[in-house]
Chains A and B, each alone.
Chain A
Amino acid sequence: MTKQKLVLVGNGMAGVRCIEEIIKLEPAQYEITIFGSEPYPNYNRIQLSKVLQGDTTIKDITINDWNWYEENHILLYPGETVVRIDPKGQMVLTDKGRQVDYDKLILATGSLPFMLPIPGAEKPGVSAFRDIKDCEKMIDYAKSYKKAAVIGGGLLGLEAARGLLNLGMEVSVVHLSDYLMERQLDQTAGQLLQKELELQGMNFYLEKQTKEIIGDGKVEGLLFSDGEVVPADLVVMAVGIRPNVQLAKDSGIPVNRGILVNDFMETEIANVYAVGECAEHRGTVYGLVAPLYEQGKVLAKAICGQETKAYLGSTVSTQLKVSGVDVFSAGEIFENEPIKTMKVFDDYRGMYKKILIRDGKIIGAVLFGDTSEGNKLLRLIKKGADIFEYTESAQSEQTGTSFVASLPDEEIICGCNGVTKGTIVNAIQTQGLTSAEQVKGCTNACRSCGGCKPLVTDLLEYTLGDKLNKADQKEPICGCTTLTRDEVVEAIREKGLSHTREVMNVLGWKTEDGCSKCRPALNYYLGMLDPIKYHDERESRFVNERMHANIQKDGTYSVVPRMYGGVTNAEELRKIADVAEKYAVPLIKLTGGQRIDLLGVKKEDLPKMWADLDMPSGYAYGKSLRTVKTCVGESFCRFGTQDSIGMGIRMEKKFERLSTPHKVKMAVSACPRNCAESGIKDLGVVGVDGAWELYVGGNGGTHLRAADLLCKVKTQDEVMEMTGAYIQYYRETANYLERTSKWVERMGLDQIKSVLEDKETRDVLNRRMDEALTVLKDPWQEAINSSDIRKELYETVKVPVDMK
């Protein structure tokens, strides 16, 4: 059977997403050709503002790279524009004179930025904000010019303005209406937004109509209809978009504002379809991504000849992607006669919430400041929910299984990977899953940020009910076994096991060789239980701990030498500078832990560089003591009450290289001003007059947590004793990869206190700690001294290209 020919005009998000759906449904039905005017593969246009704001590179926003087209046997013509369609002959013609026949044709030509037809609009310093080219132009201008004006105070304009601020420009935003984002926000929210953005540095000119872009040759400013002039070197027009329908119009395909389509995305011409921003469905043209994806799904099924639900239009929501400002809007947002509203306005904290109600049903919402309810409200609006459903859920703060039970199957549980409740429940039922870890493995939910894990756990409970018995709820250390951490550690101790492979054999691992989760964990537990006899398995270490350097995304490494307490001297700095020059280190950066990081080092150079540095490893890669950060303390600081530097150095020298369940960060401050940030460390020490306070379980990272006061002691020796006992207790009881912030919460602070209160227990813990410390050696020195290590780990085999 010969394949049918499918041609897509427009290589953007809507069209290519639809092709993805088609390939998923019928991988072999069509021979696919795509034309795109831009010289890039499909990229995420929504993220362009992030590129402009400097958070992201163009490569990061590519959705389908060149390989994807190749792998799916799609013929892509980038940088080539279709100029005419012959619907009778079923053929398209391009600007390069190419003719391609089709059996089915999808138009996904998107939108064009609307450029105000005012004098001066053709000047070189005037740009739209629509594609990569525009972004590059703005970035380029920001290098040589200072002043930017953005015409348009809507979503797009504000995102552009924020980006230009990040690029270091002075930004004026000109807007016709009397408040910002007037299509999505009401006046109150619009004004709150303006206040916030003014704080970020934007200038606003509201109720201003631009009459002309003035300047001799290049742009010099804007002239408003009231005669006022605003100087500008760059003008960005972000006043709106209009559907790109010229091609359809010229080819006799009926259009209104957009290309007219029915509920199956069919145009009025046979075998021609339209999807995305160029399509007009039931009088609406959408300019946001979610509806475009919904349309693409319907179209894919229609084109593959599969039965599909009709597309009935979408309820859209808006979120402004400007850092530090949370705005959400969905559904109808303007108050008029039959509509009632519920409002909460907290001027002090800058929070505003408005919910619009008609005939008792929620029909729209505006949120400012706190948008955490956005998804819930959007769902309620979509299903036309009764307002009581919202007020009741708000009152009871629904959680647990009753909450997940209330969610519809299509509700997205994992936002990062787009996994719905239906997909998860189905996987649990059909594949017999009983743990969150298994759900992650089968569905991708929880795979990225992990924020949805509680919901996934609730879904397990809700789906399995009584079948989810207590035995299944215990968390095995990985998918290779059903045993928990405690059971494994107990078995190692009891049976005297001494190798990871032995543990896996004796304890009946499901896999012969384990996985990337259990092997490092077993390696840690074995070493923790018998530090003297256990031979560390470097093949069971994660790359960073095997190589003693941090791997970077391009396969290079970073090197952080030890600087005890964050104190250095001229000689060390000179050595570091020399080494950086000698090995052409591309980036030198100060770390959060008061160290110097040399980034972008080639694997082969690592041992040589360490030899030249002649400093110990700073263990910035390890599940180990990372750093002891210190403040200046009594030797120089007028507030310092204690010798924080001396204390910190003493701690770092004692506990460096120690193997711990996860990384351990420490700090010593010499007064409660806490310049070393002891309050967010795994163990933080704060000097006060005549005493030291010890804080534990703090974390400044993923699981932000203020540390709890463990105890107050008088002398440096007591600090050392308490720290040793505390860290050893953590080493012996924590799960591998459990930070102290989680561990303290799991164990309970009181329990930890009661264990460490007892002098005898502390002595026993410290004895075991000292034993573990005796066997540690500097790994960089080991690599320098051993040609075997250098050869096995750091050398690359190179074969010259002229092969015989």
Chain B
Amino acid sequence: MVEAIRYRIKVGEVNEIPKEIGKTVKIGPLEIALFRLASGEIRAIENRCPHKGGVLAEGMVSGDHVFCPMHDWKINVTDGKVQAPDVGCVKTYEAVIEDGEVIIIL
């Protein structure tokens, strides 16, 4: 049985990431929007709104949601789902904090 290889990528110290302001993270060809929520938790999602490709890292973060800066689509940063009345979803990535470092697991 082949086990999928997963990469653990350090993207910086958690203290360096301001709360409720997204960070753009480029890993090779991947562009990820990284968020440190008001609760202190870390979330990582694809940095493209499914509507017109707006950069979500620049959106306003409220609770578990980010509002796309282009046309105000509301997207859940935990499960990637676009909120009604719009529909769609963005990819989510696993992100954890270990010893003060933010790690994205691909």
Q: Which residues of A contact B (CB under 8 A)?
A: 441-444, 447, 511-516, 519-520, 538-543, 546-547, 551, 553-555, 603, 791-793, 796-801, 803
Contact = CB atoms under 8 A, between A and B. Distances in A.
A516 B63 contact: no
B9 to A, nearest CB: 6
Contacts of B12: 797
Interface string B56-77: 0011111101010110101000
Contacts of B18: 539, 792
A516 B11 contact: no
Given A513-B38, A796-B25, A539 B60 contact: yes
Nearest to B5: A803
A797 B58 contact: no
Instruction: Report, nearest first, the 8 A-B pairs whose CB atoms are least far apart.
Output: A801-B28, A513-B63, A516-B67, A539-B20, A555-B55, A543-B69, A513-B62, A543-B58
A517 to B, nearest CB: 9
12 contacts: A441-B84, A441-B85, A512-B63, A515-B74, A539-B19, A540-B60, A551-B69, A792-B16, A796-B26, A797-B12, A797-B25, A799-B25
A791 B62 contact: no
Given A540-B60, A543-B59, A799 B27 contact: yes
Contacts of A512: 63
A595 B27 CA distance: 38
A44 to B, nearest CB: 16
- The winner among A540, A541, A797 for most chain B CB atoms within 10 A is A797
Contacts of A603: 24
A790 B24 CA distance: 13
Interface of B: 7, 9, 11-12, 16-21, 23-29, 34, 38, 52-55, 58-63, 65, 67, 69-70, 72, 74, 84-85, 106
Task: Give the one of A513, A796, A800 with max B CB within 10 A.
Answer: A513
Contacts of A555: 54-55, 58
Contact of B26 (A538, A539, A540, A798): A798
* Max count, chain A CB within 10 A of own CB: residue among B7, B16, B24, B62: B62
Contact of B63 (A511, A540, A792): A511
Contact of B21 (A444, A511, A539, A553): A539
B16 A547 contact: no
Given A511-B62, A555-B58, 4 more contacts: A441-B84, A541-B60, A551-B58, A797-B12
A2 B10 CA distance: 46
A799 B16 contact: no
Contacts of B67: 515-516
A763 B72 CA distance: 40
A318 to B, nearest CB: 30
A694 B86 CA distance: 45
A447 B84 CA distance: 13
Contacts of A796: 23-26
Identify the interface centre among B7, B54, B60: most chain A CB within 10 Å of its CB: B60
A43 B19 CA distance: 42
A542 B61 CA distance: 10
A803 B54 contact: no
A606 to B, nearest CB: 12
Given A547-B58, A603-B24, A799 B63 contact: no
B82 to A, nearest CB: 13
Contacts of A539: 18-21, 60-61
B27 A801 contact: yes
Contacts of A542: 60, 69
A541 B61 CA distance: 10
A797 B11 contact: yes
Nearest to B62: A513
A798 B65 CA distance: 24
Contacts of A554: 53
Contacts of B19: 539
Contacts of B63: 511-513
A793 B17 CA distance: 9
B54 A553 contact: yes
A537 to B, nearest CB: 9
Contacts of B59: 516, 543
A512 B39 CA distance: 11
A514 B66 CA distance: 11
Nearest to A539: B20
Contacts of A443: 85
Given A442-B84, A547-B58, A797-B11, A792 B21 contact: yes
Nearest to A544: B69
Given A543-B59, A555-B55, A792-B18, A797 B38 contact: no
